[in-house]
Each structure stands twice: as structure tokens, then as C-alpha cells.
Amino acid sequence: MNVKHFIEDKLLVFEISEEIDHHTSERIRKRADYEIQRFMPRKVIFDLEKVNFMDSAGIGLIIGRYKTANDFGGNLELANVNHKLKRIFEMSGILKIIPIIDNYSNEQTG
């Protein structure tokens, strides 16, 4: 997982490049919580462009980071969500509280 932090924008971006399942979610959770607490960003983006699989542990991971970001005064958004993941998010109800942004690209963050 690649993490980018931008002080000027108070933006924290997590570029996840692996499956998000019960094997990987705990490691991602620990790193994300650490970085959110460390930087206290206004906005957290989970860039899911390179994620091709997610199970219920991934849904729990995202909802938990949404709550953590809110606890530190920020919000969470999802970016570069493929059709498969979007369907999972729709079925789980995540999209009622966490938006998918359409205008984010890796080039924006260098």
C-alpha cells in the first residue's frame, strides 16, 4: 500500500494495490489508522484502482476508517472504483455514507 500525504491540502491518499480480504485488512487497518492519527487530514481518499477483489473484511475496513477519519475531523472518499467493487459497495450500503469521487487521478497527487 502506497500512502501519500499533502500538508497544503490536508489530504491523505491510500493507494491500495492488493486484494482486500481477511488476510490483508488487518495490516491495512493498522497502517491507515496510524497515518490518520498522525496527520489528522481533512480528507482521506482510498484509491482502489488496483484492487480487484474485496470481501466483507474490506467493507469493515472501509467503514472503520470512515469512522476514524470522522473522529479526527475528516471525511473519507473512495476513488477509482471498478464495476465489481462498486456493486459490492451498493449492496452493502456503504455508498449512503461514503461517496465515490469520479474526478480523482493518480496524476493529481504526483
What would the pLDDT profile of 61-98 be if each residue is shown by its tens digit? 999 999 999 999 999 999 999 999 999 999 999 999 99
For residue 61, count CB atoms less than 10 angstroms from its CB and return exposed for 0-12, middle for 13-18, buried for 19 or more: buried
pTM to 2 decimal places: 0.90
Rounded to 10 degrees, the C-alpha dihedral 90/91/96/99 comes to -30
pLDDT at 106: 61
Fold of 2-109: Transcription Regulator spoIIAA (3.30.750)
Q: Where are the domains of the chain?
A: 2-109
pLDDT digits (tens, 9 = 90+) for 21-73: 999 999 999 999 999 999 999 999 999 999 999 999 999 999 999 999 999 99
